[in-house]
């Protein structure tokens, strides 16, 4: 058998790739090293059933439009509403590799509901699968862009955050002789402004848009295209996690036992159907982003309250948040990685003592509330040092309000109401922490906030920054003695250099 030169081998590869231009399932089954001994996919033989069905559906839509390279066709619109853990990020990577490999000069944009989801899950999955793809040597792989080596400015896919302020990044995307495409991961929380901007990139060529996620909201664009008024223009699937090959069936059973088969939590996280009572996401993005923009000032008799969420080690952080009335922005939170306090509490105790010793009115802490789970040793030591303005809070204790199941739900409920009028820092980590947890009602009709453990099982980071801010609502703190008129307001004027 004749040996091909490198150029001949490359020509053969190109010819083979182009045979899959209308067959994404065939491409996925061929382009990755399934069952290759010693390889990363040795234990796997190909896509799950729902993934194969989706890829086949996309292929049918491509063949039906029969794009000729000149005359534009209707966009391919595919959406999936599902439970957790079914492999959506992996599917995103396959579709991206298929489009990039089979459509020269295609241009794509990928986003996700949060910066962390995009940077820690969606994009890493794309990089991992692209490295395994048979066409990987055609592309340069970066932290926010994968581009063809031969045409990096006109043949690529890029990662973009979905903040409303970034909507312009989704505009002006065109590929008249190829494919302009978008992919929205965890699309339920992507703002409508981003969807509207992306629509402008679907006007020419062979455009495509894909959207999937857990249906955490019963309003917004994702809800409309899956369950509501815009569903006729989209092809959609609703997928139950229990019917998928790679989901954690034991964890799913735990959720069902804890929350109930027809609870909103199970409806969204397992069954892939919309919540009945309202948005499962306890604090919505609109509320958070309004608080990031709001201009407020604290009165001089508003007490400065600190909340200290204590790390138990690992990936969790020690976070001290500060709030004076409606102002949680003027004094930036203090964040110290858990690994630095795991073996030696001394430096953290010293920092806490320094904060509690401040006497200047603009810096004097009226009360510090500390998470009891890992914070008891700190409180005990500080009290031995003579500090009385420090109190432990047990997140699992009974709520002062019977409408919440425990103290954590009580504090977060107070925090959510406060966000309608308060101001917070414009910080992606805090934003993701605030909007991460779900909530539901237990059998006693009490508010139950999703636990840190369940968040971590879903792959969501521990909301340490939000828990620290929530701690500032643990109990009422009375007003302090007002300062003279010249220093009546603090908002936006406090010198916080002492925090550095």
What is the DSSP code string of 453-475? HHHHHTTPPP-HHHHHHHHTTSS
Secondary structure class of 100 (helix, strand, coil): helix
The phi-psi region of residue 373 (left if phi > 0; otherwise alpha if psi is between -120 and 50; otherwise beta) is alpha
Secondary structure class of 281 (helix, strand, coil): strand
Q: What is the mean pLDDT of residues 67-78?
A: 96
Of residues 322, 408, 304, 396, the one with CA closest to residue 359: 304
Is residue 255 pLDDT above 60, yes or no?
yes
Q: What is the mean pLDDT of residues 120-125?
A: 93
Instruction: Kindly report the average pLDDT of the chain as a whole number.
Output: 90
Band (pLDDT 50/70/90 cuts) for residue 36 is very high
Pick the residue with more confidence: 259 or 11? 11
Helix axes 285-293, 428-435, angle to 10 degrees: 150
DSSP 447: E
Burial class (CB in 10 A: 0-12, 13-18, 19+), 52: middle
Q: What is the pLDDT of residues 146-155, one digit of tens each?
A: 999 999 999 9
Q: What are 296's two structure tokens?
A: 């407020």
The torsion angles phi and psi of 213, rounded to 5 degrees, stand at 165, 180
pLDDT for the residue 143: 95
Is residue 260 pLDDT above 90, yes or no?
no
DSSP 21: T
What value, to the nearest 5°, has the Cα angle with vertex 144 and ends 139 and 149?
A: 20
Looking at CATH, the fold of the domain delimited by 66-271 is given as: Rossmann fold (3.40.50)
pLDDT for the residue 338: 80
Lowest-pLDDT range, 34-43, 237-246, 254-263?
A: 254-263
pLDDT for the residue 278: 61
Q: What is the pLDDT of residues 74-122, one digit of tens each?
A: 999 999 999 999 999 999 999 999 999 999 999 999 999 888 889 889 9
Contact 460, 436 (CB under 8 A): yes
Lowest-pLDDT range, 28-42, 144-158, 264-278, 466-480?
A: 264-278
Lowest-pLDDT range, 25-29, 332-336, 378-382, 495-499?
A: 495-499
Q: What is the pLDDT of residues 421-456, one digit of tens each?
A: 999 998 878 988 898 888 888 888 899 998 888 887
- As annotated, the residues of the chain forming the CATH 3.30.420.240 domain(s) are 285-499
pLDDT for the residue 353: 95
pLDDT for the residue 30: 98
Rounded to an integer, what distance in angstroms lies between the CA atom of residue 59 and that of residue 462? 39
Which segments within 70-204 are labelled E, that is strand?
Answer: 76-82, 107-112, 139-141, 145-148, 156-159, 180-185
Q: What is the mean pLDDT of residues 393-408?
A: 95
Band (pLDDT 50/70/90 cuts) for residue 181 is very high
Give the best-scoring range by mean pLDDT among 125-134, 156-165, 186-195, 218-227: 125-134
Q: What is the mean pLDDT of residues 38-66?
A: 96
Is residue 491 pLDDT above 70, yes or no?
no
Band (pLDDT 50/70/90 cuts) for residue 227 is confident
- As annotated, the residues of the chain forming the CATH 3.40.50.300 domain(s) are 66-271
Rounded to an integer, what distance in angstroms lies between the CA atom of residue 135 and that of residue 99? 12
pLDDT for the residue 277: 62
Q: What is the mean pLDDT of residues 64-73?
A: 96
Contact 363, 304 (CB under 8 A): yes
Provide Rg for the chain, Cα atoms: 26
pLDDT for the residue 482: 66
The phi-psi region of residue 146 (left if phi > 0; otherwise alpha if psi is between -120 and 50; otherwise beta) is beta
**Segment (H or E) for 239:** strand 235-239
Give the best-scoring range by mean pLDDT among 59-73, 167-181, 225-239, 359-373: 59-73
Q: Cβ of 149: how many Cβ atoms within 10 Å?
A: 10
Q: What are 71's two structure tokens?
A: 């005359």
Q: How far apart are the first and last CA of the chain?
A: 70
Contact 422, 291 (CB under 8 A): yes
Looking at CATH, the fold of the domain delimited by 285-499 is given as: Nucleotidyltransferase; domain 5 (3.30.420)
Is residue 301 pLDDT above 70, yes or no?
yes
Is residue 461 pLDDT above 80, yes or no?
no
The torsion angles phi and psi of 321, rounded to 5 degrees, stand at -105, 155
pLDDT cut 90: percent of the chain above it? 67
Q: What is the mean pLDDT of residues 185-214?
A: 93
pTM, whole model, 2 decimals?
Answer: 0.71
């Amino acid at each position: 058998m004749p040996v091909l030169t490198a150029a001949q081998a490359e020509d053969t590869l190109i010819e083979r790739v182009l045979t899959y231009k209308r067959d994404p399932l065939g491409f996925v089954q061929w382009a990755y090293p399934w069952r290759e001994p010693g390889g990363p996919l040795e234990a796997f033989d190909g896509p799950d059933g729902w993934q194969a069905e989706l890829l086949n559906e996309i292929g049918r839509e491509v063949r039906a439009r029969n794009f000729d390279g000149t005359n534009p066709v209707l966009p391919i619109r595919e959406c999936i509403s599902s439970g957790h853990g079914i492999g959506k990020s992996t599917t995103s990577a396959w579709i991206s590799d298929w489009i990039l490999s089979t459509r020269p000069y295609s241009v794509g944009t990928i986003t996700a509901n949060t910066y962390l989801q995009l940077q820690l899950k969606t994009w890493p999955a794309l990089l991992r699968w692209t490295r395994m793809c048979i066409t990987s040597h055609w592309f340069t792989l970066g932290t926010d862009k994968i581009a063809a080596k031969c045409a990096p400015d006109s043949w690529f896919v890029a990662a973009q955050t979905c903040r409303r302020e970034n909507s312009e990044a989704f505009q002006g995307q065109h590929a008249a002789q190829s494919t302009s495409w978008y992919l929205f991961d965890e699309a339920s929380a992507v703002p409508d402004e981003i969807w509207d901007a992306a629509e402008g990139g679907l006007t020419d060529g062979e455009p495509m848009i894909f959207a999937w996620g857990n249906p955490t909201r019963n309003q917004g664009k994702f809800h409309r295209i899956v369950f509501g008024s815009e569903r006729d223009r989209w092809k959609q699937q609703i997928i139950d996690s229990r019917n998928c090959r790679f989901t954690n069936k034991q964890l799913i059973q735990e959720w069902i036992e804890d929350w109930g088969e027809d609870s909103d939590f199970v409806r969204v996280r397992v069954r892939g159907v919309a919540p009945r009572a309202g948005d499962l996401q306890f604090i919505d993005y609109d509320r958070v982003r309004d608080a990031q923009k709001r201009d407020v000032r604290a009165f001089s008799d508003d007490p400065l309250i600190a909340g200290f969420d204590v790390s138990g080690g690992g990936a969790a952080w020690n976070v001290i948040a500060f709030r004076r009335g409606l102002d949680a922005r003027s004094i930036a939170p203090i964040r110290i990685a858990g690994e630095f306090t795991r073996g030696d509490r001394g430096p953290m105790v010293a920092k806490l003592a320094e904060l509690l010793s401040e006497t200047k009115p603009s810096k004097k802490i009226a009360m510090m509330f500390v998470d009891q789970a890992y914070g008891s040793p700190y409180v005990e030591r500080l009290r031995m040092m003579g500090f009385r303005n420090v109190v432990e809070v047990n997140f699992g204790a009974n709520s002062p309000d019977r409408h919440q199941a425990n103290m954590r739900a009580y504090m977060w409920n107070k925090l959510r109401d406060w966000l309608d009028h308060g101001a917070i820092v414009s910080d992606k980590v805090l934003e993701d922490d605030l909007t991460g947890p779900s909530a539901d009602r237990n059998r006693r009709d009490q508010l139950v906030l999703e636990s840190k453990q369940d968040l971590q099982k879903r792959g969501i980071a521990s909301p340490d920054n939000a828990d620290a801010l929530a701690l500032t609502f643990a109990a009422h703190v009375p007003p302090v003695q007002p300062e003279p008129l010249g220093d009546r307001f603090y908002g936006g004027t406090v010198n916080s250099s002492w925090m550095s």
